[in-house]
Chain A
């Protein structure tokens, strides 16, 4: 009996950088984590609000310093990537809703984008529109 020696396969470091879709996947996962970070930032805002006008003003000033603005801009980009790539995948998982006649992913994707924009416009109106 001859022993078979195989060349073991090893995944290279940075494997996800060689494929655009892997990069988007990693960005989507990072976006999920960063959205949790932004949740903590908002939680801090709520805590400061509960501590009075002075603490709230200080926290707002902290959020407006250049470093925090950059951090929030980066989070926004990653969360947008997370949302859009997830909408793209919903067309695939939508199969579970209609086993025998799956709607085309483009229709699901378009619908999700419309809902996303409408919800965002609604939030912007509530925050800045004077409701």
Chain B
């Protein structure tokens, strides 16, 4: 970070062992045009204040660790250039909306993880076949059906952007619901019934009011909003099939 330009990082701090609540601290950071907000935070930690705490790992939009609110919008800080984020020479960084802060910019993901496990994000088989019988065959066209949802990196930006989850964290949320669709559409999976029992509920797909912000902030173009509408249609179709043709509604 040996640039000539300077920007002020206004960072929300919180120390759980301290006596005061969250507060903002400002740091003056030099930057170049090719540097991102995560570079700025690392500059602060390396040169100005080693106590600043935040999550990050890959720096290339894959791990989903560095999600934070930048100027009030959920962003991956590794993919947000300082030059774009600067508002009048200031970049404000907060912990992700909707989640409690454990320390500084590190949030408690437990509410997300609980919902995530409820949708059973793994392949479910009614009966596993022996390894000696070979792998489960899947064709490229089968993969197309769920490839978009499989790109999710669990960064939870969509959860932070979702007004429904902000208001009630019992809502399963867009990330977990997109993942539910990913497995329901997987031709190797036979767990659709179990998942629909969990997601076709008051705090599941029917709580989504289709704001669409989850799809706007998603850095991987997973389109969770579209996924949830798809699940609504599938759940309705399954319900109707159960009513009209009870023996043919297994998937």
Interface residues of A (CB under 8 A from B): 4-9, 11, 15-16, 18-19, 21-22, 25, 29, 89, 92-93, 95-96, 99-100, 102
Contact = CB atoms under 8 A, between A and B. Distances in A.
Given A7-B14, A25-B212, 19 more contacts: A4-B102, A7-B21, A9-B98, A15-B166, A16-B163, A18-B72, A19-B73, A19-B213, A21-B211, A21-B213, A22-B163, A22-B213, A25-B163, A25-B209, A89-B225, A93-B210, A95-B229, A95-B230, A96-B232
B39 interface: no
B166 A7 contact: no
Interface of B: 14, 16-17, 21-22, 72-73, 95, 97-102, 108, 141, 144-145, 163, 166-167, 185, 209-213, 215-216, 223, 225-226, 229-230, 232-233
Contacts of B100: 6-9
A18 B73 CA distance: 10
Contacts, number: 74
Contact of A99 (B95, B99, B223, B230): B230
Contacts of A29: 209
A37 B166 CA distance: 29
B230 A96 contact: yes
A96 B145 CA distance: 11
Given A21-B211, A22-B211, A25-B211, A92 B101 contact: no
Contacts of A99: 145, 185, 230
B166 A89 contact: no
